[in-house]
Amino acid sequence: MRAKEPELTLKDAGVTGVPADLLARTGTHAFSDAPPAGKARTLPLVVLSPGFQKTRSSLTGLAEDLASRGYVVAAISHTHENIATVFPGGRVITCTACQVQPHDQAFWDKVGATRADDVSFILDQLTGPRPRWKGSRLIDPARIAMAGHSAGGAGSVAALLKDPRIKAGVNIDGLAIVPVPASGLSQPFLLLGAQATRTPGGRESASWQAVWQHLTGWKRWLVVAGAEHASFTDISLLGEQAGLDTGATLPAARSMEITRAYVAAFLDLHLRGTPQPLLDRASARYPDVKICAVERKSCA
């Protein structure tokens, strides 16, 4: 994080009594300007999209893990929609969309459409005729996926519907605010969420069920026991260390391990063609994760 981003992020979360630049000084396992490694047109690309108001930094833990597995990862700051977008010259743009009311279906339709446009722009910049990243030659443009948390997960549907370059999508605990048309969505899709709210028939599962019936390709609906909305992001990890109560009973490190394992398994299956039994049956290693039978409204 740079400039006002850490200060505004802490303020939005209601965190006080800590230095304003604390998040900017938090260590990661990534390095700026590390030389990309690999052969030309061999690396799959994953676009990551954060939740509404959240910065791309909230998905650092997942991004680092995917990069360590040989994926190119592009995390998006959705300008005017997150707490702070910092441009290379230091200019800071705050959350204009946060001032818009009400957050009705028309609002979320606009969010979904805007995010889909952002993703297409990023793909143009990375795989177009004049790529903006020095490692772009490594990307295999036939193997691109998108994953997102919360509104970013919902945005995955909008991006898949708009851009045929994206071959698979993941919604991580986001309301399915972008509807799938009756004609269906044929690309592989993973729904991964908190058991307390996303179990079929549960209090916040109706939007997932509406999307589910129009997913015509490979699909899975998985829930994680003891997780809450923030459990799938760095927010839970850092919040736990700061003594904040997110409401989760599953330790943050464990929820991060689960998120990494299942998102990677999905991507390995659909972008690399590597069989993934983890996605087909209950796992002794991850007993917290339940595979849902949607028609029976049960997960086991």
- Residues 235-246 have pLDDT tens digits of 998 888 878 888
pLDDT for position 61: 96
pLDDT at position 206 over 80: yes
Residue 277 — pLDDT band, cuts 50, 70, 90?
very high
> Per-residue pLDDT averaged across 205-229, rounded?
96
Q: What is the pLDDT of residues 56-91, one digit of tens each?
A: 999 999 999 999 999 999 999 999 999 999 888 889
Q: What is the pLDDT of residues 104-127, one digit of tens each?
A: 999 999 999 999 999 999 999 999
CA distance 139 to 214: 30
Q: How many CB atoms sit inside 10 A of residue 95's CB?
A: 19
pLDDT at position 203 over 80: no
Residue 11 — pLDDT band, cuts 50, 70, 90?
confident
For the ranges 22-26, 116-120, 172-176, 214-218, which has the lowest average pLDDT?
22-26
CA distance 270 to 187: 10
More confident residue, 264 or 23: 264
pLDDT at position 3 over 80: no
CA distance 32 to 29: 10
Give the gyration radius of the chain's Cα atoms.
18
CA distance 250 to 196: 12
Q: Report whether 143 contacts 98 (CB < 8 A).
A: no
